[in-house]
């Protein structure tokens, strides 16, 4: 956030029922791309580059596919397009293995967020995430796309990143060594450099949305 904010107007998004959003908010995964467009309209943002991580990457991909006129450039970070992964084993063991690469400061943040969301909302969001099969939308993405992946991500394996890069027409896959599911935290300087270079290529709007 700080790195991008030095050169761009950055808007961080709290998804419904997550972060500092109202605890009365109802999480509906399929509705969120349209909700993001409505939020952009309220803020007078005609077009933006969009960065999405994990479940946010799934949402960002659908946003770019369904609203191509609103997205300049797209960055998908260890995006949770779980339907692209032919194996299921990691969904049990993966979260435990990936903790090896997760910094203690991030673990504390995640734990606080989980407590704030609560088990019922978390289970509902997880259920919707596991059922989401949006792979057919990927060829509709028109924005230049950077797919960024931690090379030790066992929660969303690199097979998903490769599939995204193959199915999105103008996509490039970059892996970041010595990182797991959260490369923007685990290898922050390298991540910032890669993303900043990508966003600086060509004519861009002044806004970035991070989901």
Q: For 34-56, how does the pLDDT look when each residue is reduced to its tens digit (9 = 90+)?
A: 999 999 999 999 999 999 999 99
User: Residue 102: its pLDDT value, please?
Assistant: 60
Cα–Cα dist 30/132, whole Å: 9
Alpha carbon distance 207, 23 (integer Å) = 27
Per-residue CA distances from 103 to 85, 174, 187 (Å): 26, 21, 10
pTM comes to 0.85
Convert the pLDDT of each residue in 57-103 to its tens digit: 999 999 999 999 999 999 999 999 999 987 755 555 545 445 555 66
Q: Identify the pLDDT of residue 206.
A: 41
Reported as a pLDDT band with limits 50, 70 and 90, residue 205 is very low
* pLDDT surpasses 60 at 106: yes
d(CA 202, CA 49): 12
Residue 58 near residue 134, CB atoms below 8 Å: yes
- Averaged over 152-157, what is the pLDDT? 88
**What kind of architecture, by CATH, is found in domain 2-210?**
3-Layer(aba) Sandwich (3.40)
> C-alpha dihedral over 50, 183, 91, 163, to 10 degrees?
60
Show me where the domains of the chain are located: 2-210
């Amino acid at each position: 956030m700080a790195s991008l904010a030095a050169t761009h107007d950055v808007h961080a998004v709290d998804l419904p029922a997550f972060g500092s959003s109202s605890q009365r908010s109802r999480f509906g995964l399929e509705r969120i791309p349209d909700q993001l467009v409505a939020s952009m309209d309220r803020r007078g943002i005609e077009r933006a580059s969009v960065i999405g991580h994990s479940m946010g990457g799934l949402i960002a991909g659908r946003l770019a596919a369904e609203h191509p006129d609103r997205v300049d450039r797209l960055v998908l970070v260890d995006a949770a397009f779980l339907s692209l992964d032919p194996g299921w084993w990691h969904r049990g063991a993966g979260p435990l293995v990936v903790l090896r690469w997760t910094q203690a400061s991030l673990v504390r943040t995640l734990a606080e967020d989980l407590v704030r969301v609560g088990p019922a909302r978390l289970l509902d969001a997880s259920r919707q995430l596991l059922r989401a099969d949006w792979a057919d939308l990927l060829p509709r993405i028109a924005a230049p796309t950077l797919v960024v992946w931690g090379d030790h991500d066992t929660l969303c394996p690199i097979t998903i990143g490769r599939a995204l890069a193959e199915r999105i027409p103008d996509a490039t896959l970059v892996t970041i060594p010595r990182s797991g599911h959260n490369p923007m935290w685990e290898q922050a300087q390298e991540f910032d450099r890669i993303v900043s270079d990508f966003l600086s290529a060509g004519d861009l709007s002044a806004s970035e949305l991070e989901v």
